[in-house]
């Protein structure tokens, strides 16, 4: 499975394209999840022995499936947060009742999830969350605000990191947190406000909780930090390899444009030695990231800093790709794909969106500064930031 720039395999991709042609509109993402669920293609590799709808698969098989799905350019997954983040977390930390309630619905593609971690004053600093959950009989009432919540506008449930108790005197701030499962259909108690980005899209949202009811806590009250950290470790691994397939497709398009620019005399094409050197470097770095991801794949490889190293590598790489995509097109990069009118007041093509959206790559999912702190403290054994400042 290399990243060779060969012709598209239209025969292999035909099934996904035919499905896309027949399913359009806002419900397409949910319909596709059910389609995958009907075929048994959700929960591949869940460590549940197949008890809750997952499909048995070794690590290599998981990688093959994920990469071929990406190569097929199949529809973007609306259910990946539930399948790839929450489900393994419930298998590791949830109760039998929680696994029986939630995992089969995820495996059937019937319930979509979002992740309530970041807050306006606590983005990469999860220990600083201020959303509170107060006991109300056998449940909790959740009040607070989350931000940058992906796909919240379509989600049925949200797993929320909230403060259910004060940290003990002298203890670190992450004590007193709990991992709660909150149903999103609570009119008057939950409000979702999409955040319009400079790409013109609104994948991210603000979510406001005003006494929202939550009956499920995963891992026990006060153990939310342990559960949350276990979940964050799942955001790397196989998903990183899948991401790199998308990166390879984007790089191939930039190479094509560079060649055209050189032949047509516009922009800065592949004939420019500086552009050519940048293209070769991006290609080599992508291969290096893939080799590193394969090396660290699994539970034993890479050590505690491996996820942070991977995030630093791909975040900066993707930004440089976006910058080069604009450079090779020259002035044409400033012109949208359609004429401006009331029906299409703001439209961008895929590479313009790449350039603008990739500006956030070094911020979301843990900023570069946070990743470097993790490497410094957990790998290099340097003093913690506050200790360095006071020392």
Point out the residues that are catalytic: 235
Q: What is the dihedral of CA 252, 253, 258, 264, to 10 degrees?
A: 130
Q: Where are the alpha helices (DSSP H) in 120-272?
A: 224-232, 238-264
Q: Which residues pair with 142 in a beta bridge?
A: 133, 212
For residue 144, the surrounding DSSP H or E stretch is strand 139-146
Are the C-beta atoms of residues 144 and 120 closer than 8 Å to each other?
no
Q: What is the dihedral of CA 176, 177, 180, 186, to 10 degrees?
A: 90
Q: Which of 315, 353, 328 is nearest to 278 (CA)?
A: 328
Distance, CA of 312 to CA of 320 (rounded, Å) = 13
Angle at the Cα of 350 (from 346 to 356), degrees rounded to 5?
70
Extract the tokens encoding 366: 């843990």
Residue recorded with tokens 């770095």? 285
In angstroms, what CA-CA distances link 134 with 187, 219, 250, 342, 370?
Answer: 19, 17, 47, 47, 30
Q: Which of 338, 362, 361 is nearest to 348 (CA)?
A: 338
Per DSSP, the residues of 89-124 read HHHHHS-HHHHHHHHHHHHTT---EEEE--BTTBSS
In angstroms, what CA-CA distances link 30 with 43, 71, 75?
Answer: 16, 21, 11
Are the C-beta atoms of residues 149 and 204 closer than 8 Å to each other?
yes
Are the C-beta atoms of residues 302 and 375 closer than 8 Å to each other?
no
Q: Which backbone phi and psi does 294 adopt, to 5 degrees?
A: -65, -35
């Amino acid at each position: 499975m290399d990243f060779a720039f060969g012709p598209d395999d239209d025969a292999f991709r035909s099934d996904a394209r035919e499905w896309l042609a027949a399913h359009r509109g806002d419900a397409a993402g949910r319909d596709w999840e059910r389609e995958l669920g009907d075929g048994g293609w959700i929960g591949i590799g869940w460590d549940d022995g197949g008890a809750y709808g997952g499909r048995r698969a070794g690590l290599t098989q998981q990688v093959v499936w994920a990469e071929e799905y990406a190569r097929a350019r199949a529809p973007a997954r609306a259910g990946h947060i539930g399948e790839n983040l929450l489900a393994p977390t419930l298998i590791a930390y949830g109760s039998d009742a929680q696994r029986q309630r939630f995992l089969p619905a995820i495996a059937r593609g019937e319930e979509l999830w979002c992740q309530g971690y970041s807050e306006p004053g606590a983005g990469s600093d999860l220990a600083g969350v201020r959303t509170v959950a107060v006991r109300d009989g056998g449940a909790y009432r959740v009040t607070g605000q989350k931000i940058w919540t992906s796909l919240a506008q379509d989600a049925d449930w949200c797993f929320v990191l909230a403060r259910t108790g004060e940290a003990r005197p002298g203890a670190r701030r992450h004590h007193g947190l709990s991992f709660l499962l909150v149903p999103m259909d609570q009119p008057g108690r939950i409000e979702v406000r999409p955040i319009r980005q400079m790409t013109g899209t609104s994948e991210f949202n603000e979510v406001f909780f005003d006494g929202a009811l939550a009956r499920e806590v995963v891992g026990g009250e006060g153990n939310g930090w342990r559960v949350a950290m276990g979940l964050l470790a799942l955001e790397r691994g196989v998903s990183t390899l899948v991401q790199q397939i998308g990166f390879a497709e984007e790089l191939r398009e930039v190479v094509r444009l560079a060649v055209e620019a050189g032949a047509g005399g516009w922009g800065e094409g592949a004939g420019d030695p500086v552009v050519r050197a940048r293209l070769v470097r991006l290609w080599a770095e992508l291969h290096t990231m893939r080799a590193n991801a394969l090396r660290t794949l699994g539970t034993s490889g890479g050590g505690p800093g491996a996820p942070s190293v991977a995030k630093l590598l791909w975040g900066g790489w993707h930004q440089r790709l976006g910058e080069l995509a604009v450079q090779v097109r020259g002035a044409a990069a400033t012109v949208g794909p359609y004429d401006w009118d009331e029906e299409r007041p703001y439209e961008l093509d895929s590479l313009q969106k790449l350039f603008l959206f990739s500006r956030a790559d070094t911020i979301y999912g843990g900023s570069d500064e946070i990743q470097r702190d993790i490497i410094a403290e957990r790998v290099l054994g340097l003093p913690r930031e506050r200790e360095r400042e006071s020392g």
